[in-house]
Amino acid sequence: MTEPALLEVEGLGVSYGDSRAVHDVSFSLAAGRCLGVIGESGAGKSQAFLALMDLLPARARVVGQARLAGQSLLGGAGAGLRGREVAMIFQDPLSSLTPHMTIGDQVAEPLVAHRGMGWRQARVRAAQLLDQVRVNDVPRRLAQYPHELSGGMRQRAMIAMALACDPKLLIADEPTTALDVSVQAQLLALLRDLINERRMALALVTHDMGVIAALADDVQVMRGGSVVERGPVRQILERPAHDYTRSLLAATPRLEGAAPEPKTSSARVPLTVRDLAVRFRLPGWRRRTELVAVDGVSFDVAEGEALGIVGESGSGKSTLTRALLRLTQASGGDAVWLGRSLRELDGDALRAVRADIQVVFQDPFASLDPTMSVAECVAEPLRALRPEMDATARAAAVQRALDSVGLDASFATRRSPTLSGGQCQRVAIARAMVLQPKLLVCDEAVSALDVSIQAQILELLMRIKREQGLSLVFVSHNLAVVRQLCERVLVMYLGREVESGPTGRVFAAPRHPYTRMLLESVPILDPERERARLAALPASGDTPSPVDRPTGCAFRTRCPEARPQCAAVRPEPEPVDNSQRVACLRWRELEN
């Protein structure tokens, strides 16, 4: 701590007209250390750092002082420092990279612009940089375009660009939020190494306590534009002083703790899915390729139980739910709802079944029609499926549904663009529950929400499930959320089941290496254990594209336990005991 501060910020404020986005923020950051700034959306955490980078719109008014190694950053003085001394990476690497330039050229560009290198020399250096951020297969990547890379690889390319001019300070704004947990863990490990190796200072803006635990040395908690608490990471995570910090920590879902126990086997099983497959034909000029999104998945959902479906992006979990809802037609197998095949139903019979099975989607803003009022949105399923209801009865049902999700009558006439994300998601749940369905399908229903809102929505779902005996199919990439809500879990990889069983059993004793990898990727809210975990993390790549899936076991390309036989034989799910199943050729060997 004796090291002099590299970045010093005093009394930083950002305001737009009369509204203050950031108020009186001060901190200092030394080389080789990481400052974590945590807060929910609207806390002003990004605004503060955008102000340091001079990336705010012209109408923003910035006050205060900021010095990088003694040189002032604010008021136009810092123009020469940005890009050379300070670099920034953003949440969405796809929109931060230029689509028409190859990765190699994009990483080389700052070297040419700021370092006066020639293009040839800069490209060689770009290859070294990409190698340093552990991009695999560098020679091929150099000639690829951003859309050809996976999210994790893109974010690495962004980091390579940011590192091109050896900045003293790297600002990372939600660098891993858009990524799968396994990829997130790899990137966090990479950032940690970069700080240590390069003695670089990292300012990390995030809403995720797990990311803080992994990287930050010092933490400041922001709310409503002001810093409410600051301190070393251990103190913030273990002995938070401010109520808000405590509530953030309490709302963060954890993997530890008991999962809900499955009901006794006598419970009715309304939904039975057998060998469900969804294939898409991809248009091609000469040969047609087929994308197998879901490849023969089977499961049951019992009455009043929640089934969690987990997996990384590209695992086919969303397509599976769309097939269940008949938003996509299945190409094979069947889903049977109360004795009726969902695949064969059509017209009015299908519409009648829809009253039983409802859905809540991920994006709270996209799932409500912006031209409709809240009451109209909620009334829509009633209009369609309960035509006998008159206007008064319908209005009463809508109001009951809104009450049950905690929205009072004043919301009925508002339109979705005036609501917050959490309120929109409540409306979406009210719309799904207004028909009193027996099964609710949630496709990443809490993933886009801030942790405290996420906790409220989860609480709401658990209450509805308990009170109405509702069954749930809950798709999520967040294992901690699944642990809280779901009695059973189904782990998917590239469209196939790899493991399934009671959540408590699967999470406590995972049989499949993929399940183990997913569980190991979940951040732990303990800085020391979390850092030890990241340091020990094996380098494992990204999910392959479902178009060219590996032969045999699809996971073998990333599996630490893979053997030659895994390429030859495709493992089928087999029972471990009477409730748990695993699809791995070597699970018995790996037990011992």
Partner 1 sequence: MKTRISPALWVLGALAVLALAAPFITPWSHDTLDWEHLAAPPQLDASHWFGTDRLGRDLFARGMQALRVSLALGLLATLVSVGIGVAWGATAGYLGGRIDAAMMRFVDIVYALPYVFIVIILSTVFPRGSLAALFIAIGAVGWLTMARIVRGQTLSLRSREFVAAAIAGGARTPAILWRHIFPNVIGAVIAYATLTIPQVILFESFLSFLGLGVQEPYASLGSLINEGAQEMESSPWMLLVPAGLLTLLLIAFNSLGDGLRRRLAPGDD
Contacting residues toward partner 1, per CB under 8 A: 322, 325, 327, 351, 354-355, 357-359, 361-363, 366-372, 377, 380-381, 383-385, 428, 431-432, 435
Rounded to the nearest 10 degrees, what angle do helices 181-198 and 151-163 cross at? 10
CB of 31 to partner 1, least distance (A): 43
Within the chain, what is the greatest distance between any pair of CA atoms?
76
C-alpha–C-alpha distance, residues 324 and 297, integer Å:
12
CB of 482 to partner 1, least distance (A): 21
Distance of CA 411 to the CA centre of its chain: 29
| DSSP state string for 360-381 | E-S-TTTTS-TTSBHHHHHHHH
CB of 280 to partner 1, least distance (A): 13
Residue 250: both structure tokens together: 């309490």
CB of 567 to partner 1, least distance (A): 37
Indicate the residue among 65 and 468 with the shorter CB distance to partner 1.
468
Which of 255, 257, 248, 180 lies closest to 451 in space, CA to CA?
A: 248
Our CB check for partner 1 shows the closer of 197 and 369 to be 369
Nearest-approach distance from CB 475 to partner 1, in angstroms = 14
C-beta closer to partner 1: residue 145 or 365 = 365
Task: Give the pairing type, strands 169-173 and 201-206.
Answer: parallel
Tell me how far CA of residue 339 lies from CA of 258, 327, 345, 353, 471, in angstroms.
33, 20, 12, 11, 16
Q: Please, what sign has the CA dihedral across residues 73, 78, 83, 89?
A: positive
Nearer to partner 1, 254 or 400 (CB): 400
Distance, CA of 28 to CA of 206 (rounded, Å)? 18
Residues listed for the chain = 592
Read off the tokens for 259: 């999962």
31 secondary structure, DSSP code: T
Minimum CB distance to partner 1 smaller for 169 or for 357: 357
When the beta carbons of 367 and 521 are compared against partner 1, the nearer one is: 367
**Smallest separation (angstroms) from partner 1 to the CB of 414:** 16
Task: Output 336 or 385, the one with its CB closest to partner 1.
Answer: 385
Cβ neighbors of 415 (< 8 A, separation 6 or more) are: 370, 371, 372, 373, 374
Kindly tell me which of 351 and 463 has the beta carbon lying closer to partner 1: 351
**Min. distance of Cβ 432 from partner 1 in angstroms?**
8
Give residue for tokens 């994300």: 421
Q: For 568, what's the count of Cα atoms within 13 Å in the CB-facing half-sphere?
A: 3
Provide the angle, in degrees to the nearest 10, between the axes of the packed helices 374-385 and 347-354: 130
Please state the closest distance from residue 468 (CB atom) to partner 1, in A.
18
Q: Token match 């992006």: residue?
A: 313
Nearest to partner 1 of 423, 503 (CB atom): 423
Rounded to a whole number of angstroms, the minimum distance from the CB of residue 306 to partner 1 is 19
Q: From the CB of 337, what's the least distance to partner 1, in Å?
A: 13
Spatial contact of 208 and 44, defined as CB atoms under 8 Å apart: no
- CB 421 → partner 1: shortest distance, Å? 13
Q: Which residues contact 98 (CB under 8 A, 6 or more apart)?
A: 106, 146
The residue (of 26 and 328) whose beta carbon lies closer to partner 1 is: 328
CB 310 within 8 A of CB 354: no
- In DSSP terms, 500 is beta-bridged to 490, 581
Smallest separation, CB 578 to partner 1 (Å):
34
What's the token pair of residue 199? 């003695």
Q: Which is nearer to partner 1, 349 or 535 (CB)?
A: 349
Please give the angle made by the CA atoms of 509, 513 and 517, to the nearest 5 degrees: 90
Pick the closest to residue 184 from 202, 164, 206 (CA basis): 206
Nearer to partner 1, 282 or 366 (CB): 366
For partner 1, give the closer residue by CB, 327 or 568. 327
Tokens of 504: 């408590």
Minimum CB distance to partner 1, residue 370 (Å): 7
Beta bridge partners of 229: 221
